[in-house]
């Protein structure tokens, strides 16, 4: 079970996932203490290296926010390939949260995006929702983002993001 989860999550697991798979808490603590497993965020560990730093940060943010969390805004736009770098903090929607969960690297806000897709193993807002959220998050620079895609019909919007799939 853990091997499948590790592959799907590209080497990242949460403490809750490890415990649910039968790994004793003392074993988790020992692996973290000896740095055999790298803590990325609280209760979120990298067991198998290999991810680039940006992908590691974004994947860890979604896992840390909890089950069903969805990547949103500029971070989702980066995941689709429309912006060059993911932002800090990475923004995530987490329907099960009653109040925001904040760290310097991640903001997990209560909410359920209207349309969600799974892209390369992460739940991400749909392209049009992503585009609008990213434009709002970028403030004045968001106008440039919208201007760059205004000539594309909604049905062709997916062509903007060649990294999907």
Residues 23 and 98 in one domain: no
Residues 72 and 152 in one domain: yes
Whether 132 maps to a domain, the answer reads: yes
DSSP letter (8 states) at residue 121: T
Residues 15 and 80 in one domain: no
Question: How many domains does the chain contain in total?
Answer: 2
Residues 83 and 17 in one domain: no
* 101-102 and 106-110 beta bridge pairing: antiparallel
**Is 41 strand, coil or helix?**
strand
- Mean of the per-residue pLDDT values of the chain: 88
Instruction: Choose among 16, 15, 20: nearest CA to 31.
Output: 15
Minimum mean pLDDT range among 6-15, 46-55, 126-135, 149-158 = 149-158
The rounded distance, in Å, linking the Cα atoms of 60 and 37 is 14
Confidence grade of residue 78 (pLDDT, cut at 50, 70, 90): very high
Residues 42 and 96 in one domain: no
Whether 165 maps to a domain, the answer reads: no
pLDDT, residue 165, reads: 42
The rounded distance, in Å, linking the Cα atoms of 139 and 91 is 15
Domain span at residue 73 reads 53-160
Residues 95 and 22 in one domain: no
Residues 82 and 147 in one domain: yes
Whether 124 maps to a domain, the answer reads: yes
Residues 58 and 94 in one domain: yes
The rounded distance, in Å, linking the Cα atoms of 147 and 10 is 35
pLDDT in tens, 121-139: 999 999 889 999 999 999 9
Q: List the Cα angle 11/64/116 in 5-degree steps.
A: 90
Residues 76 and 16 in one domain: no
Where residue 161 falls (left for φ over 0; alpha for ψ -120 to 50; beta otherwise) is: beta
pLDDT in tens, 29-54: 999 999 999 999 999 999 999 889 99
């Amino acid at each position: 079970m853990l091997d499948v989860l590790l592959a799907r999550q590209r080497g990242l697991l949460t403490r809750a996932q490890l415990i649910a798979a039968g790994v004793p808490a003392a074993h988790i603590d020992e692996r973290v203490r000896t740095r055999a497993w790298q803590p990325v965020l609280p209760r979120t560990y990298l067991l198998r290296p290999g991810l680039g730093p940006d992908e590691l940060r974004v994947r860890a943010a979604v896992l840390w926010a909890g089950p069903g969390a969805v990547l949103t805004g500029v971070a989702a736009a980066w995941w689709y390939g429309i912006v060059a770098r993911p932002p800090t903090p990475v923004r995530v929607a987490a329907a099960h949260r009653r109040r925001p969960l904040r760290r310097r690297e991640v903001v997990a806000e209560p909410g359920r995006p209207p349309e969600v897709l799974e892209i390369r193993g992460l739940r991400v807002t749909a392209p049009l929702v992503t585009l609008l959220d990213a434009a709002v998050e970028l403030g004045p620079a968001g106008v440039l983002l919208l201007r760059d895609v205004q000539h594309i019909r909604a049905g062709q919007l997916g062509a903007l993001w060649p990294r999907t799939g």
